[in-house]
Amino acid sequence: MLNGISPQPDQDVRPSGDAAEAGLAAFAVPDRAAHLLDEAIAGIARGIEVLAVVPLGGERALALEAFAGAGSAGTPHSLIVACDIPETAADPRRGGRLAEVHRHTRARMLRHVPADAEFEVVRRCATGPAVLDLLDALGDPTLTAAVREGVRAFAASCAMPFPVIRMLGTEQPGFRARVALVDHPVHGRSVCKIFRPGAMAFFARELHARTALADQPVVPELLDHGSNWLLTPEYHDTRTHLARALPGVAGMHQLRRDAARELARFAAVLHDRGLFVLDLSPQNVVSDPVAGLKVLDLEFVIPYADYPVPAPPASASWSVRGIPAELRTIDVPQLALTRKVGNSVFHPAVAGLPVERLLEPSRRGDGARRAATQWGWYATLATAGRLHAVVARRGRL
């Protein structure tokens, strides 16, 4: 996401292999979960780059247990070595990111384990340069050398292709891409988004959306692109599309009427073209004083044809209603304020009116209805937040 950008330190904008080693992580899968190894690899790859999958057994398994301790699920079967997107050599946010990758991978694997028979299906054994020490302990120098080379190649693949003015980000770098304000030789100050190798499906999806939907006013202009990067104008967010921040929902804002209407029209156009969108939230939208309203992240513009069912009628667009529960997978984004809606921008707390009304000409009373709905949700969430704080304080007493 580019909205709410904050400058990052200028060092390591073209990260070296040594700096990238800070993002290493190693996860062990036990023998009991050997049949879930593919799920473990997919879960980890969703968040960070998988560099190697190392079979364990015999002396290797003993060496891992001597280095990292014995796991509660028994003998280790495989070691998955992965690396986070390099941002700075010592990013304090890495721990939280790796914990999220671990949590998602565990949940993905446990879908295949009865609830009354759960066990430690995957565990994190080492992070940062300690991963290389772990590989050394396995006794195969060629393995350590291969991972070192993999880290260097990964860091090179994430290097910005143009001189960096500053890195851009929100609370943390993305799991799939790095974003920077760059100095392009033709377009000058512009924003470059470069995808890691394991996220090329998201790159392809966003590139297709940016080209196929280039006629839509809310789609950012595509100045240029390469094999894994996109170049966008530097938009300046006036935040005029936002009405007020919603309490208790981090980064979430209510939308002004015209912005909600424009996003509803965009969803309708997508549906007419056989597409729907997920991850459409106020955080992903900017208001530029010249270019107008722009939707910045289009990695989740998806064809209905990717699913084994006919496209729904326009009134049941998945952009608005969400993917049917029976078709949802663990890889569908789980986002705030998307219960019974496809995207938070269409939640009544955010938009204030149903999408059907947003798509029709304004009626008398719409403004009052929208204001009442938005203020009602604001009050509800504010009250819930206060009650939660009281309960939390009492729990600490």
Q: Phi/psi of residue 144, each to 5°?
A: -60, -45
Q: Are residues 124 and 83 in the same domain?
A: yes
Assign residue 52 the CATH number of its domain. 3.30.70
Residue 385 pLDDT > 70: no
Q: What is the pLDDT of residue 51?
A: 97
Q: What is the pLDDT of residue 205?
A: 95
Q: Which band of pLDDT confidence, cut at 50, 70 and 90, is reported for residue 74?
A: confident
pLDDT, averaged across the chain: 88
Tokens standing for residue 350: 């955010």
Q: Which band of pLDDT confidence, cut at 50, 70 and 90, is reported for residue 80?
A: very high
Residue 358 pLDDT > 90: yes
In the chain, the number of structural domains is: 3
Q: Are residues 134 and 170 in the same domain?
A: no
Residue 281 pLDDT > 50: yes
Residue 388 pLDDT > 60: no
Q: Are residues 153 and 186 in the same domain?
A: no
Point out the domain boundary residue: 157, 192, 218.
157
Q: Which band of pLDDT confidence, cut at 50, 70 and 90, is reported for residue 3?
A: very low
The answer to whether position 122 is within a domain reads yes
Per residue in 202-241, pLDDT tens? 999 999 999 999 999 999 999 999 999 999 999 999 999 9
The answer to whether position 286 is within a domain reads yes
Q: Are residues 117 and 46 in the same domain?
A: yes
Assign residue 198 the CATH number of its domain. 3.30.200.20
Point out the domain boundary residue: 214, 233, 252.
233
* Nearest alpha carbon to residue 206 among 319, 306, 299: 299
CA distance 276 to 303: 6
The answer to whether position 103 is within a domain reads yes
* Nearest alpha carbon to residue 196 among 161, 228, 163: 228
Q: Are residues 286 and 265 in the same domain?
A: yes
CA distance 201 to 177: 12
The answer to whether position 362 is within a domain reads yes
Q: Are residues 229 and 360 in the same domain?
A: no
Q: What is the pLDDT of residue 386?
A: 66
More confidently predicted of 269 and 58: 269
The answer to whether position 87 is within a domain reads yes
In the chain, alpha helices (H): 17-20, 37-47, 59-68, 94-110, 130-137, 141-157, 200-212, 257-272, 318-321, 348-351, 355-358, 366-396
Q: Are residues 183 and 285 in the same domain?
A: no
The answer to whether position 395 is within a domain reads no
Q: Are residues 195 and 327 in the same domain?
A: no
Share of the chain above pLDDT 70, in %: 88
Q: Which band of pLDDT confidence, cut at 50, 70 and 90, is reported for residue 174?
A: confident
Q: What is the pLDDT of residue 98?
A: 87
Residue 91 pLDDT > 90: no
Tokens standing for residue 346: 């269409």
Q: What is the pLDDT of residue 20?
A: 78
Q: What is the pTM of this model?
A: 0.87
Q: Are residues 218 and 344 in the same domain?
A: no
Q: Are residues 214 and 122 in the same domain?
A: no
Count Cβ neighbours within 10 Å for each residue of 94-110 and write b for 16 or more, e otherwise: beebbeebbebbbebbb
Per residue in 295-319, pLDDT tens? 999 999 999 999 999 999 998 999 9
Average confidence (pLDDT) over 279-294? 95
Q: What is the pLDDT of residue 157?
A: 92
Point out the domain boundary residue: 180, 205, 233.
233
Q: Which band of pLDDT confidence, cut at 50, 70 and 90, is reported for residue 94?
A: low
* Nearest alpha carbon to residue 39 among 115, 101, 112: 112
Residue 187: which domain range? 164-233
Share of the chain above pLDDT 90, in %: 73
Q: Are residues 330 and 285 in the same domain?
A: yes
* DSSP 8-class letter at 78: E
In residues, how long is the chain?
397
Residue type for position 73: A
The answer to whether position 316 is within a domain reads yes
Average confidence (pLDDT) over 48-62? 94
The answer to whether position 1 is within a domain reads no
